[in-house]
């Protein structure tokens, strides 16, 4: 039976984007972390431990991937995943608010558990929205992933602007994070489903342009709010397409049998000729190259945003200025996610350029951003956070697309969430073991504060070097997969354009 006219793959994309707009509460940690640190009497290492569990929850989406794979196939499969995410959001942030408000105090291990649950909700929202978007638009996966990942990044700015508009304190903001994403998800999840579309005409392009205008509007809202404050102070079904992808990738991979200069085997070149499961994907060198590059880039990016309030405080920024930095971070994070998806799609369709190339470029730019923050010069935190936030967002748009192209679509949700585990791994090493350790070492005895650029200078120089290393790894992955992208992925996209 045909779906109601009010519910199409376009309404599913729009509803998913709106859910993403309030799903990225993990990016708001810098807003309420001072209240958390003061109320619980944490030192910087303890606060970074809580932030680490936030990063684990927000990025280790293996459970959401397994739930998406386990749920009965059909248009309503995303609903199950979204419901689970809403439950986790409330179960994590509500007791955290009770603890910070002094109603129900919690020891550090329990606070870490609350943070883990709250942040884990983000992966359930993200998995449901991204997987349904890819299934609804398999020939535009880079763009739709960029949209979904972009609004997840922008959500931090949206949530912060709501918080500042309501003039609530950081403790009440935690309560808002428990209520708002849960309510929005429950209201909109009915529209997030998988559709079998039979449309293929110029109307599609017009609708897509209108949709972009609608979903880009929150950017204007966030920018306008910040400015005001400164003044005041016939197309195959999804299943058929997946089958077509498998056939085309298999045919293309058989013709891509020669090794690359780095010794890639025929099996590596044809990595996408079948839809691999998680264990099969983890047996490929390309998986670990992607994982390592993401650990360097995403880990250093999270270490930056997790400590942005403390960095600003050490350099003499006010609380209002550091909360502004969180907003700007989210806006540039959004720009990177959306822009990377669109640009990589363009060059892949035009020249057959593999997406790993863009990961290498963004990691090089990210290293420059870390070096600028390390300098401690006036406005260096603003400039550096722009570069780091932009490039961090780019990686979140590129990684899922690369995963789906190299390892196939059948287990896409699970594999992409497994690669995302690199983010908390890198964050733990860089945020807790590097940034937190050096900050506490530089702090005066019996004092939880540190003043001066020396508090973070060494940490960010280390992260700058880590990003250069990650860029080299990404370029190795690009060289290993460049023939696969040109002979298989590029040919597949051209066949879509010709139909």
Q: CA quadruple 364, 293, 268, 135: dihedral positive or negative?
A: negative
By residue count, the chain amounts to: 499
CB atoms inside a 10 Å sphere around CB 175: 17
Contacts of 231 (CB under 8 A, 6+ apart): none
Find the mean pLDDT for residues 226-231: 47
The secondary structure of residue 345, as a DSSP letter, is H
pLDDT tens figures, 461-480: 999 999 999 999 999 999 99
Three-state DSSP class for 451? coil
3-state class of 307 per DSSP?
Answer: coil
pLDDT tops 50 at residue 36: yes
Q: Could you write out the DSSP letters of every residue in 97-122?
A: HHHHTTSS---HHHHHHHHHHHHHHH
In this prediction, residue 496 carries a pLDDT of 63
pLDDT, residue 270, reads 40
Task: Give residue for tokens 């979903």.
Answer: 215
Query: What angle in degrees, to the nearest 10, is found between the helix axes of 356-375 and 285-306?
Result: 30
Q: pLDDT band at residue 17, thresholds of 50, 70 and 90?
A: very high
* Residue 339, burial from CB neighbour count under 10 angstroms (0-12, 13-18, 19+): middle
In whole angstroms, what is the distance from residue 432 CA to residue 459 CA? 11
How confident is the model at residue 152, as a pLDDT? Answer: 86
Residue 1, pLDDT > 80, answer no
Question: How many Cα atoms occupy the beta-carbon half-sphere of 270 within 13 Å?
Answer: 18
Helices (H), 21-74: 29-40, 44-59, 62-70
257 pLDDT above the threshold of 80: no
CA atoms of 351 and 490, how far apart (whole Å): 8
pLDDT, tens only, 348-372 = 888 889 999 999 999 999 999 999 9
Cβ atoms of residues 339 and 480 within 8 Å: no
Residue 327, pLDDT above cutoff 60: yes
- Tokens standing for 445? 């005895």
Sorted by where each begins, the domain ranges of the chain are: 9-196+205-217+236-498
Distances (CA, A) of 28 to 32, 101, 141, 165, 166: 7, 18, 28, 15, 16
pLDDT higher than threshold 90 for residue 39: yes
R_g of the chain computed on alpha carbons: 22
Q: Is the pLDDT of residue 443 over 90?
A: no
Q: Is the pLDDT at 227 greater than 60, yes or no?
A: no
Q: Please tell me the predicted confidence (pLDDT) of residue 226.
A: 46
70-90 pLDDT tens trace: 887 666 788 999 999 999 999
| Nearest residue to 97 (alpha-carbon basis) of 179, 181, 183 | 179
Cα-to-chain-centroid distance, residue 499: 32
DSSP 284: S
Q: Rounded to 5 degrees, what angle do the CA atoms 92, 97, 98 make?
A: 105
Residue 74 exposure: Cα atoms within 13 Å on the Cβ side: 8
What integer best gives the mean pLDDT of the chain? 82
Q: Is the pLDDT of residue 100 over 70?
A: yes
The pTM score is: 0.71
Which range, 116-125, 193-202, 312-321, 445-454, is most confident?
Answer: 116-125
Residue 411, pLDDT above cutoff 80:
yes
For the cut 70, the answer to whether the pLDDT of residue 102 exceeds it is yes
Long-range interactions of 141-145: CB distance < 8 A, separation 24+: 141/401, 141/404, 142/341, 142/342, 142/344, 142/345, 142/348, 142/355, 142/397, 142/401, 143/341, 143/342, 143/345, 144/13, 144/341, 145/341, 145/397, 145/400, 145/401
pLDDT of residue 357: 97
User: 408: helix, coil or strand?
Assistant: coil
Check if CATH label 3.40.10.10 holds for domain 9-196+205-217+236-498.
Answer: no
Give per-residue pLDDT as tens, 270-287. 444 457 888 999 999 999
Question: CA 466: distance to chain centroid?
Answer: 19
Contacts of residues 488-492 at CB distance under 8 Å and 24 or more positions apart, as own/partner, are 488/248, 488/249, 488/252, 488/253, 488/256, 488/270, 488/272, 488/273, 489/272, 489/348, 489/352, 489/354, 489/405, 490/348, 490/349, 490/352, 491/248, 491/252, 492/245, 492/248, 492/249, 492/252
pLDDT digits (tens, 9 = 90+) for 151-180: 888 898 899 999 989 989 999 999 999 999
Higher pLDDT among residues 346 and 212, named by residue:
346
Q: Could you count the other beta carbons within 10 Å of the beta carbon of residue 336?
A: 29
Instruction: Give the number of other Cβ atoms within 10 Å of residue 285's Cβ.
Output: 17
Say if CB 413 and CB 397 are below 8 A apart: no
């Amino acid at each position: 039976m045909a779906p109601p006219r009010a519910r199409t793959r376009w309404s599913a994309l729009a509803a998913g984007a709106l859910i993403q707009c309030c799903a990225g509460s993990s990016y708001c940690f810098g807003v309420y972390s001072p209240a958390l640190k003061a109320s619980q009497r944490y030192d910087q290492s303890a606060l970074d431990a809580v932030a680490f569990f936030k990063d684990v929850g927000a990025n280790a989406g293996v459970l959401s991937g397994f739930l998406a794979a386990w749920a009965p196939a059909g248009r309503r499969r995303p609903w199950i995943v979204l419901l689970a995410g809403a439950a986790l959001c409330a179960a994590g942030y509500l007791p955290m608010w009770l603890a910070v408000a002094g109603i129900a105090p919690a020891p550090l291990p329990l606070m870490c558990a609350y943070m883990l649950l709250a942040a884990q909700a983000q992966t359930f929202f993200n998995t449901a929205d991204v997987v349904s978007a890819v299934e609804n638009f398999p020939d535009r996966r880079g763009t739709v992933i960029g949209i979904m990942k972009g609004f997840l990044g922008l959500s931090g700015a949206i949530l912060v602007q709501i918080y500042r508009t309501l003039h609530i304190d950081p403790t009440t903001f935690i309560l808002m994070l428990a209520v708002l994403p849960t309510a929005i998800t429950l209201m909109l999840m009915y529209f997030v489903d998988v559709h079998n579309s039979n449309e293929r005409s110029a109307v599609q392009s017009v609708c897509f342009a209108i949709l972009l205008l609608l979903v880009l509007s929150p950017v204007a809202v966030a920018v306008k709010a910040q400015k005001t404050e400164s003044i005041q102070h016939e197309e195959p079904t999804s299943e058929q397409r997946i089958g077509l992808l498998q056939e085309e990738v298999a045919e293309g991979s058989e013709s891509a049998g020669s090794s690359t200069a780095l010794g890639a085997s025929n099996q590596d070149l044809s990595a996408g000729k079948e839809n691999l499961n998680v264990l099969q994907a983890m047996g490929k060198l390309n998986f670990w190259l992607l994982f390592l590059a993401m650990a360097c880039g995403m880990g250093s990016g999270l270490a930056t945003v997790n400590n942005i309030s403390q960095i600003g405080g050490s350099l003499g920024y006010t609380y209002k200025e550091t909360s502004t930095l969180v907003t700007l971070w989210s806006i540039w994070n959004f720009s990177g996610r959306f822009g990377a998806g669109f640009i990589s799609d363009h060059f892949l369709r035009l020249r057959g350029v593999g997406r790993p190339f863009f990961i290498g470029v963004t990691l090089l730019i990210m290293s420059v951003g870390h070096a600028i923050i390390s300098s401690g010069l006036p406005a260096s935190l603003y400039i550096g956070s722009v570069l780091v936030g932009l490039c961090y967002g780019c990686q979140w748009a590129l990684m899922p697309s690369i995963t789906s192209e190299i390892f196939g679509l059948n287990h896409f949700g699970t594999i992409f969430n497994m690669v995302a585990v690199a983010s908390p791994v890198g964050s733990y090493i860089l945020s807790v073991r590097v940034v937190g350790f050096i900050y506490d070492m530089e702090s005066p005895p019996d004092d939880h504060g540190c003043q001066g650029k020396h508090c973070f200078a060494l940490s960010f120089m280390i992260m700058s070097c880590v990003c250069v290393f990650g860029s080299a790894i990404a370029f190795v992955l690009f060289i290993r997969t460049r023939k696969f992208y040109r002979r298989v992925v590029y040919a597949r996209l051209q066949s879509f354009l010709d139909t």
